[in-house]
Amino acid sequence: MLAAMPASLPSRSPGDACARSSGDACPGALRLHRADDGALARIRIPGGALTPRQAGVLGQAAERLGDGELHLTSRGNVQLRGLAPDCGTELAALLDEAGLLPSARHERVRNVVASPLSGLDGLGAADVRPWLTGLDGLLCASDGATALSGRFLFALDDGRGDVDALGADLTLLALGADGGLLRVGPGDAVLRVPAPDAPRAALTAAEAFLDAARETGAWRVKDLPDDTAAALPAEVVRRLREAGVPVAPDRRPRPLEALPPAHGRVPGGRREASLSVGVPLGRLDPEQWRLLAGAGGLRLTPWRGAVVTGVAPDRADGLLEELSAAGLITGPGSPWSGVGACIGQPGCAKSLADVRAEAGAAVGPPGRLPVYWSGCERRCGHPHGEWIDVVATPDGHRISHARGESATGAATVRNDPAALAAAVAEARGTNPEPRGAHTPGARGARTSEPRGARS
């Protein structure tokens, strides 16, 4: 049986530079994190891929040990909240038996996102699922990989550019059946490698990063000093050639916008259908999770959504209606499209506001830009690319237009719900409506506020 590690103190926001001397406090499945609403466990799910049985076990763990809800993260992982501080051993046993903990030593470094529709809609250059299996196996077999931070991120993009835009530390991009590109860090430089060697190339790059970071205290590639980061691709080339892997430097601009799968029935799939749904604020109650878990295979997305696979074509439309009735986003026009928030009060001691309730009070017609509500300056779980950034401050809510690492047009709105909703709608490029004036969808009554938004 796997032993549970002691709960850690609250950690910095994912992606923040952090000295290695302080220790990596990122929560995991074995090391729980203390929060105001109980202990928190973060279960890494490479590529977001879950079998129906694994999904069922996660739901069982949430109901038996936590508050019953499952929280999706911006990396396609799952968090369980409201856990008793001494439940770690029982949780570990449940996850281990379901195959969700293939290596206790590596459980926090299995941070891998993958194109959610890869192999389903025919739009990618190649299906990256074999890469996903290969990379996860290599990570779990590598002693050196245990030194990676729980913040370090791998991305496997099937060529459509969706997860390439997420700013991962190492990104593999499919070119076709025979070739791929390895992007080291967020820049435009890439390395061309044979497709069968791509997972091995990614692990080699991770090991090169660890050596480069040993003297710098960097947790992620973007945290390396500029000269060290600039030298890293050449070092990866040297190591790959030394290992007999053909590699050639190249350039490919990184996409600026990460586009999630459209909600609804996924095009293609004659023998089996797939459905893409959004999860308001990434929060699923037991009934919603059981419905998803029983519908087919799951691919949790980095946009706090899920793709249901293996659905009988004649059942797809009816299942989509059931998912909509349960409060999930199943098509365009939902007021919850593009709306995100951190956990906020009362779950987080650092939060200055119940931002989930505030987000619910401000929903309206979908905007041109997504919006993310944060209870403090850490902005935990914020999106990538371009979005409207709403941050609770002692003086009210600061609203700005975020683009990557920078933000413009900051303005503070006092704590007036109507004024705040109007300001957010204007920033997103929409016209605000009073709550209840919109028609979210065929069964939209549930989408005016996600279940548990005020708890």
Amino acid found at 302 = P
Give me 144's structure tokens: 């050196």
Amino acid found at 199 = P
What are the two backbone dihedrals, phi and then psi, of residue 292, each rounded to the nearest 5 degrees? -65, -45
pLDDT of residue 136: 98
Walk across the sheet containing 49-50 and list its strands: 49-50, 297-300, 305-311, 273-278, 264-265
DSSP, res 102: S
Distance of CA 200 to CAs 74, 151, 153, 298, 390, Å?
25, 20, 16, 26, 40
Overall pTM > 0.85 = yes
pLDDT tens, residue order, the chain (455 aa): 334 433 332 333 333 333 444 567 789 999 898 888 889 999 999 999 999 999 999 999 999 999 999 999 999 999 999 999 899 999 999 999 999 999 999 999 999 999 999 999 999 999 999 999 999 999 999 999 999 999 999 999 999 999 999 999 999 999 988 899 999 998 899 999 999 999 999 999 999 999 999 988 899 999 999 999 999 999 999 999 999 999 999 999 999 888 899 999 999 877 999 999 999 999 999 999 999 999 999 999 999 999 999 999 999 999 999 999 999 999 988 999 999 999 899 989 899 999 999 999 999 888 889 999 999 998 988 888 889 999 999 999 999 998 877 778 888 998 889 999 999 999 998 644 433 333 233 333 333 345 444 33
Contact indicator for 234, 248 with CB cutoff of 8 Å: no
Distance of CA 390 to CAs 112, 158, 336, 400, Å?
28, 32, 16, 7
pLDDT of residue 252: 95
Nearest to 169 by CA among 196, 135, 133: 135
Instruction: Find the radius of gyration of the CA atoms of the chain.
Output: 21
Residues 6+ apart with CB under 8 A from 347: 35, 36, 37, 81
406 exposure class (CB count in 10 Å sphere: 0-12, 13-18, 19+): exposed
Contact indicator for 112, 163 with CB cutoff of 8 Å: no
